[in-house]
A and B are shown apart, each in its own frame.
Chain A
Amino acid sequence: MAQPAEEHGHSHEGHDHAHGDDHAHGDHGAGHGGHHEEGFVKKYLWSCDHKMIAKQYMFTGMFMGIIGGFFSYAFRMQMAYPGHNVPGFGVVSPNEYNALITNHGTIMIFWLAMPVLIAAFGNFLIPLMLGCDDMVFPRINRLSYQIFLLSALVLIASWFVPGGGFGGAWTAYPPLSAKAQYNLTPLGSTLWVIAVALEFVAFLLGGINFVTTAMNSRAPGMKMFDIPMVVWMIVIASILFMGSVGPLVAGAVMLVFDQTVGTGFFDPVRGGDPILWQHLFWFFGHPEVYVVLLPAVGIVAEIITVFSRKKLFAYRTVLYTAFGTGILSFFVWAHHQFIAGIDPRMANVFTATTVLISIPIAEMMFVYVATLYGGSIRLTTPMLWALAFIAEFMIGGVTGIFLGASGSDIYFHDTYFVLAHFHYTFVPIAVIAVFAGFTYWFPKMFGKMMNETLGKIHFWGTILPFNGVFIPLFITGMGGDHRRIYNYQNFPELATQELANLRQFATVSLLILLAFQFVFFINLIISLLNGKAAGNNPWRANTLEWTTVSPPPHGNFAQLPTCYRGPYEYSVPGREEDFWPQDQAT
């Protein structure tokens, strides 16, 4: 996190210029303070600056991602070599196994995908791309990160309490999750719910900033359809999150009461209903998958336009598909519960809505493919990641249709087919798109270029083994492997050599994948220490974050920019340059 020493100089300058700019455009701001030297704590831990908060989210997310990846290593080793000692972990017992998968799923979604895609990129990009000096509520922003950090600490703490971490799956269905006598993790399960609930609060607070900043603080001249797609997507995702998480927040309170006070909200013996939790969970859970999908799709839009030097094909259509997906996503939740004992007639409705959601998403994919047409494509590392996202996500998307069709979900439900389906959506989102965004904005964040050769080695070393992990799991799923089983030897039909080989193949692929992650971290460190200086706009991109210095100083811009056009005016006929930054008058 090397910040150049001249930051404060810039900050000073930014202050004065901001004043001038201020009056010119009718803002009545006091500008930014910040003459004195900030201490370490103030700068790195207690900062209100959106860029620092973004980095805090980014590195916390990265750290949690490493833990989640380590967990997947431990339980995949157990699955491939049941009962053997896992190097670096030990023998995996059944209850440890359950705790590992539960926390793997929870971490990857709530402590990797959400903080990196929404909070880190959202915090970093929204003010910069909209041409303002910070988020509208910097202190709420800081509070949001602090609550998030607290939630991560509570989750980590939950693994070390007596009884161990919660092992009732990330979906936490009661009565298993509600009663210690069933789950045998009296403290772990309560801490788990509390951690998740705190995380929700952090993101509700974060959403205030994302949405109000995007609505109110755009640079003068920036109209609705001049907003870069990634900002739109993060904002829509925040709204989706806010609209769907409420019932689960209430549900979490009810679950904690069931666990600790002894109420019976989800206890059938006492007049409660376990299915109620499933509705509350999935009413949130399904929109949630699009909450993480949309920012990823936004990141990809920025990258493919820059590296194919093309205008985004049908900007408005992309936006409408995002709205369509968002709205439809509230009406599909029960496809996770087809065989959970809901009224079978309801399944027909949810089949229809679920299969129809393929339309906006298919359209979005078609638009991206169409954007490549007529381009001048440069396969840099970020571009490779972005293209891989499209290619791989498609597999995850189309396999979702097998599950959305109620008739075939009878067989596929809770098999590894489902598992492979959602890893083919989540890994493109939380790993591939994250690396795409990270490598693309790294020069802006740190002022240095990353090494392209190492970047490409890391890319191929991740993409190829990734398919090696999950293609076999589609097949084991079709063969009947069901989820959350620590040892398949107990099921005669699943103990065959053929299935065991596939499981081992998946695990070995994972080992290769993990080994190649070291390339990334080496690249990260050497680029931070002595990467080539990036300059303001190494990718020759249009959006406003590239018009300021890298990394941007406190206050972001020497002079707050004015916006003259949309973000994707590449290769405009009649212009010398093949790009046309949003802040250039001519």
Chain B
Amino acid sequence: MIERYIEQVSTYASDIDGLITLIGVIVGFWFVLVEVVFFGLIVAFREKKGVKAQYITGEEKHQKRWIGIPHELVLLCDIVIIIAAVRVWVNVKQTQPPAQETVRIIAQQWAWSFVHPGPDGKLDTADDIKTVDELHVKVNTVYHFKLEARDVLHSFSVPVFRLKQDAIPGRVITGWFKAKRTGVHDIQCVEICGIGHGLMPARILIQTPEEYGTWQAAQAATASK
């Protein structure tokens, strides 16, 4: 359902969208069923002259069945939903494939700073490339990000990746993503962080290794000048 409104750019976006569709089908079925029965009964049992309502306690076995059977079916549906949800969750949040690249993301009131490894490929060395409100990544590469906050809570969200993670001052939170297509997309801050919360957008630039290499070289050159 979601892909109609927003592209799938990370490897796990389709898993998440698939889960949403699955839940949509299951609860959609129940929803329609209950509403149809509900309106059907209202129409069928409108007040009629001379017809008295029936006396049904709902306490007898054959009556309780009408509640009991749906009850068990809902339980069954719940189990399916839980299993599907946990599978996606474990893949996206609980486990991480080995990193090919690592970036540091720092949120503060009201800007994003990104630290990319320099030509040496390592973070926290002298040649790191720092940018503000612009994250550069290579396509088809497993990235680990180290998310930090300077002051209050923020939340790092890339809707096209279906990725979201709160940033907490005093902690470094690691997560991962792998972009499967090049392009330029929004990064949002989705945790209220004060007056400028609505002014905290950033952009993610997903580039081919060549483009990325050129950008990196140019940055390294300006830095050494």
Residues of A within 8 A of B (CB): 94-95, 97-98, 167-169, 173-176, 182-184, 268-269, 274-275, 308-317, 339-341, 344-345, 347-348, 351-352, 355-356, 358-359, 362-363, 365-367, 369-379, 387, 390-391, 394-395, 398-399, 401-402, 404-408, 410-411, 413-415, 475, 478-480, 482-487, 490-494, 570-573, 578
Q: Are B53 and A411 touching (Cβ within 8 A)?
A: no
- Which of B37, B52, B74, B159 interacts with A578 by CB under 8 Å? B52
Contact B194–A486 (Cβ < 8 Å) = no
Shortest Cβ gap from B49 to chain A (Å): 10
Residues of B contacting A404 in the complex (Cβ-Cβ under 8 angstroms): 85
User: A359 near B82 (CB under 8 angstroms)?
Assistant: no
Given the known interface contacts A183-B194, A344-B93, the answer about A351 and B78 at a Cβ–Cβ threshold of 8 Å is: no
- Residues in B with CB closer than 8 Å to A408 are 16, 19-20, 23, 85, 88
CB proximity of A401 to chain B, nearest CB, Å: 5
Residues of A within 8 A of B24 (CB): 402
Residues in A whose Cβ lies below 8 Å from that of B66: 366, 370
Query: CB-CB contacts of B4-25 with A at 8 A, as 1s and 0s?
Result: 0110000000011001100110
Given the known interface contacts A372-B45, A391-B38, A405-B85, the answer about A314 and B71 at a Cβ–Cβ threshold of 8 Å is no
Which of A176, A347, A378 gathers the greatest number of chain B CB atoms within 10 Å?
A: A176
| In the assembled complex, B86 has its CB within 8 A of some CB on chain A | yes
B41-77 residues at the A interface, CB under 8 angstroms: 41-42, 45-48, 51-59, 63-64, 66-67, 70-71, 74-75
Residue B84 lies at the interface, judged by CB distance under 8 Å to chain A: yes
Of the candidates B23, B45, B82, B163, the one whose C-beta lies within 8 Å of that of A373 is B45
- A376 touching B53, Cβ below 8 Å: yes
CB distance B166 to A339 under 8 Å?
yes
Which residues of B does A touch, CB under 8 Å? 1-2, 5-6, 15-16, 19-20, 23-24, 27-28, 30-31, 34-35, 37-39, 41-42, 45-48, 51-59, 63-64, 66-67, 70-71, 74-75, 78, 81-82, 84-90, 92-94, 109, 151-153, 155, 157, 159-160, 162-166, 168-171, 173, 185-186, 188, 190-199, 201, 203
Q: Which residue from chain B places its CB closest to the CB of A482 in the assembled complex? A: B190
Residue in contact with A274 in the complex, picked from B58, B94, B153, B164, CB distance below 8 Å: B153
- Per the bound structure, the CA–CA distance linking A308 and B56 in Å amounts to 12
Contact A376 to B109, CB < 8 A, known contacts A366-B71, A405-B19, A408-B85: no
List 21 A-B residue pairs with CB atoms under 8 Å apart, sorted by A's residue number.
Answer: A94-B196, A169-B192, A182-B152, A274-B153, A275-B168, A310-B56, A313-B56, A314-B67, A348-B90, A352-B82, A370-B58, A373-B45, A375-B45, A376-B47, A377-B46, A398-B30, A406-B88, A407-B16, A411-B159, A490-B201, A493-B160
Complex contacts, B94 vs chain A, CB 8 Å: 344-345, 347-348
**Which single member of B34, B78, B151, B164 contacts A366 (CB below 8 Å)?**
B34
Does B195 contact A98, Cβ atoms closer than 8 Å?
yes
B residues near A413, Cβ cutoff 8 Å:
164, 190
| Distance of A351 Cα from B186 Cα, bound (Å) | 29
Pick from B75, B171, B195: contact of A268, CB under 8 Å: B171
| A365/B193 contact (C-beta < 8 A), A348-B86, A401-B23 known | no
List the 5 closest A-B pairs by CB distance, nearest first.
A268-B170, A407-B88, A374-B54, A405-B85, A314-B58
Shortest CB–CB separation between residue B142 and chain A, in angstroms? Answer: 18
B89 touches A482 (CB 8 A): no
Q: Which residues does chain A contribute within 8 Å of B201, judged by CB atoms?
A: 490-492
Chain A: CB-nearest residue to B168:
A341
- Closest-CB distance, B23 to chain A (whole angstroms): 5
Contact between chains at B27 and A344 (CB < 8 Å): no
A373 near B78 (CB under 8 angstroms)?
A: no
Please report the C-alpha to C-alpha distance between residue A248 and residue B53 in the assembled complex, in whole angstroms. Answer: 48
With known contacts A309-B53, A372-B45, A398-B30, A405–B84 Cβ distance under 8 A: yes
Within 8 Å CB of B162, what residues of A?
A: 410-411
Q: Give Cα distance in the complex from A379 to B46, angstroms.
A: 8
Check if A490 sits within 8 Å of B55, measured CB to CB. no
A-B contact count (CB 8 A): 290
Given the complex, which residues of A lie within 8 Å of B109, measured CB to CB? 182
Shortest distance between the CB of A181 and any CB in chain B (Å): 8
Query: Which of these, B37, B151, B163, contacts A410 with CB under 8 Å?
Result: B163
Report the separation of the CA atoms of residues A271 and B54 in the bound assembly, to the nearest whole angstrom: 66
Closest chain A residue to B196 by CB distance? A94
Q: Which residues of B contact A478 (CB under 8 A)?
A: 1-2, 5-6
In the assembled complex, the Cα of A101 lies from the Cα of B130 at a distance in Å of 35
For residue A285, give the distance in angstroms from its CB to the closest CB of chain B: 15
- Report how far A84 CA is from B52 CA in the complex, Å: 58
When the two chains form the complex, which single residue of B74, B153, B169, B185 contacts A493, counting CB atoms closer than 8 Å?
A: B185
Within the assembled complex, what's the spacing in Å between the Cα atoms of A339 and B75? Answer: 26
CB-CB under 8 A from A97, the residues of chain B are 198
Q: Which residues of B contact A355 (CB under 8 A)?
A: 78, 81-82, 85
Contact call B155/A339, Cβ cutoff below 8 A: yes
Residues in A whose Cβ lies below 8 Å from that of B5: 475, 478-480
Besides A268-B171, A311-B58, A356-B75, 19 other CB < 8 A contacts? A95-B195, A167-B194, A274-B153, A310-B53, A314-B64, A317-B64, A352-B82, A355-B82, A369-B38, A375-B41, A375-B54, A387-B42, A394-B34, A404-B85, A405-B23, A407-B86, A410-B164, A411-B159, A478-B2
| Chain A residues whose C-beta falls within 8 Å of the C-beta of B52 in the assembled complex | 309, 376, 571, 578
Instruction: Tell me which residues across on chain B come within 8 A of A356, comparing CB atoms.
Output: 75, 78, 82
Q: How far is the CA of A377 from the CA of B19 in the complex (A)?
A: 40
Q: Distance in Å from the Cβ of B166 to the closest Cβ of chain A?
A: 5
Given known A-B contacts A175-B169, A486-B198, A351 and B89 have beta carbons under 8 A apart: yes
Q: Are B194 and A184 in contact (CB under 8 A)?
A: yes
A480 CB to nearest chain B CB (Å): 4
Judging by beta carbons under 8 Å apart, are A411 and B56 in contact?
Answer: no
Bound state CA distance, A511 and B5, in angstroms?
27
Nearest CB in chain A: distance from B74 CB, A: 5
Interface centre among A184, A410, A484 (most CB of B within 10 A): A410
